[in-house]
Structure 1
Amino acid sequence: MAFLIDILRRAPLCGAFFLSTLIIPSFSHAVSCSPCSAGMLEVSSIYDGDTLRLEDGRRIRLIGVNTPELGQGTADEPNAEEAKHLLEILVKRSGGSVRICMDAERRDRYGRLLAHLYDHRGDSINRRMLKQGAGYLVAVPPNLRNHECYKHAEKEARKGEKGVWRLPVGDASKLNGNETGFHILNGYIKRVGQSRSGIWLNLDGGLALRITWNDWEGFGIDDPESLLYTSLEVRGWIYHRNGNQRIRVRHTSSIHWLERE
């Protein structure tokens, strides 16, 4: 009870999506997540909205969810604290323990276990985070077990302008060239290129989207040149190579075509 009182005191700082998660019970949803029958495991600490540590010392990274970053000596990204508080209360409501179910790929490059989290009732915690707008859907093959379920949850949050969906989508043409990390951006394609490794979509402003041939097969587009001057919304992690900003696009849901639907 003391935990709930403390959460209520902090609630005004946590945004509407956080309060709604606290007081609104779970309802059935049109697109169900896969069930998880694993045993309950105790959580020792929560780093941020998409990463936690189990009592046995293992670090867990939620699959399909990317929440804003807490600052490490710098300012927090908008909604980062709210996302962390939401995960805290979802774990608390589950008695401080969660079920974890793996997918095809078990660890990320940082050695963290990649997992779908569920509470004591079998409800998807990842889905709840997305439904309340705590973060953005990310699809990284081959870990797509609950992708459609998560996609539906994010769609609800975006329609309701919850959490991160109150923030404006960035403009790729206005990047200053120094940005890194996760971004969601609008832009249009000024150049389409092909190489031995895959397709390159160069956006106005200089950002390049890289799609390997294997990943490109999922897009179902016969002629890449048909994308020239197409407007889009893209999400992913910006990295730098040879002085240029790039995003590797791994899945079709990372791009929303604004002129092809």
Structure 2
Amino acid sequence: MKPVRPTTEDYVRVAMITLACGLLTAAGVSPGNAAGCAFEPQGEGRVRTVIDARSFRLEDGREVRLAGIEPAATEKSNDSAALAAIIGGREVSLRGEDDTPDRYGRQIAFVYLAPSEMPVQGQLLAQGEALAAGDVTDKDCAAVLATAEASAREARKGFWADPAAIKNAESPGDILTGIGRFTVVEGRVLSVRQAGATTYLNFGRNWTRDFAVTIPRRMLAPFEAAGIVLKSLENRRIRVRGFIEAQRGPRIDVLRVGQIELVGGK
């Protein structure tokens, strides 16, 4: 039998990191299997204080921020209760690709409680208390986080219990209420246009009012490497995540391939 060559659609589906959650679930991989986030050890310690929804301080003074997630964009987005319930006063181990502190002096890491193989990030996602940031470049780890988030979304847990958790791309006014917050928006791409160094995924005809996704030129190579032809997203339904900006209409700037996922087959 002659082998069938993968189509562009096949590449898009495989490359969308968050879509991998459906493939993993179908293959029998559960949120509890976190082998994909087994990075190098970065130390350990006891949690002294939970600072906010995704950061805490150890007894030795180190401040740690959870990698790969963002707080859910709700009135309780800065609520530290969920994180405190998991790690408050506990011994934790840290893992990551790099232990260089961020500009605020925080260590960015995946955090574990022994003997669990699921990072704390996965637990928060599975409870609907956080959103996958879409910025994890390790595909296996990104898929683990996406699977955990999908389980909460399908069960309508936590943040996902709100019918308006995912913003409608056809409601720019509603999206604009979340300026500066990490938000998930879903809709059908009306057109894909290039203007200077930016590619626009337009969800409406009025560019001064409607929602759009902006993709800088430096991201074209990563999308191409992932087998994704941006023009092929035209007339496709996608889910995009990122921080809402107001540039006439509401915008999300895509800086990682994992910020975009194809929804369904069409």
TM over 0.5: yes
Higher normalized contact order (CA 8 Å, seq sep 6+, divided by chain length)? 2
Report the Cα offset of residue 190 of structure 1. 2.6
Runs (5+) with no aligned partner, structure 1: 1-26, 70-75
Q: Which runs of 5+ in 2 are unaligned?
A: 1-29
Q: Is 2:128 aligned against 1:133?
A: yes
- Normalised to the residue count of structure 2, the TM-score between the two structures is 0.70
- TM-score, structure 1 as length reference: 0.72
Q: How does 1:38-187 map to 2 (within 5 A)?
A: 38-68=42-72, 77-78=75-76, 81=79, 84-92=80-88, 95-104=89-98, 106-108=100-102, 110-123=104-117, 124-142=119-137, 146-168=141-163, 169-176=166-173, 177=176, 179-180=178-179, 181-187=181-187
Deviation (angstroms), 1:116: 0.5
Q: Please show how residues 181-260 of structure 1 align to structure 2 within 5 Å.
A: 181-195=181-195, 197-204=197-204, 206-211=210-215, 212-222=219-229, 224-241=230-247, 243-258=248-263, 260=265
Q: Number of residues paired by the alignment?
A: 223
CA RMSD of aligned residues (A): 3.0
Alpha carbons of structure 1 residues 227 and 37: separation in structure 2 relative to 1, 3 Å: closer
Q: Which amino acid aligns with 2:254?
A: V
Q: How far off its partner does 1:60 sit?
A: 1.8
| Structure-2 change in CA distance of 1:28 and 1:250 (3 Å) | closer
Structure 1 residue 106: Cα displacement? 4.0
For residues 111 and 145 of structure 1, what CA distance do their matches in structure 2 show? 27
- Offset at residue 197 of structure 1 (A): 3.6
State the identity %.
25
CA distance, structure 1, for counterparts of residue 141 and residue 233 of structure 2? 29
Looking at structure 2, the residues matched to 170 and 106 of structure 1 have their Cα atoms a distance apart, in angstroms, of 35
**Aligned partners of 2:224, 2:152: CA distance in 1, in Å?**
29
Residue pair 1:98, 1:119 contacting (<8 A) in 2 also: yes
Distance 1:58 1:255 in 2: 33
CA apart distance, 1:88: 0.8
Aligned-residue offset at 1:37: 4.6
Query: Structure 1 CA distance, aligned partners of 2:77 and 2:52?
Result: 11
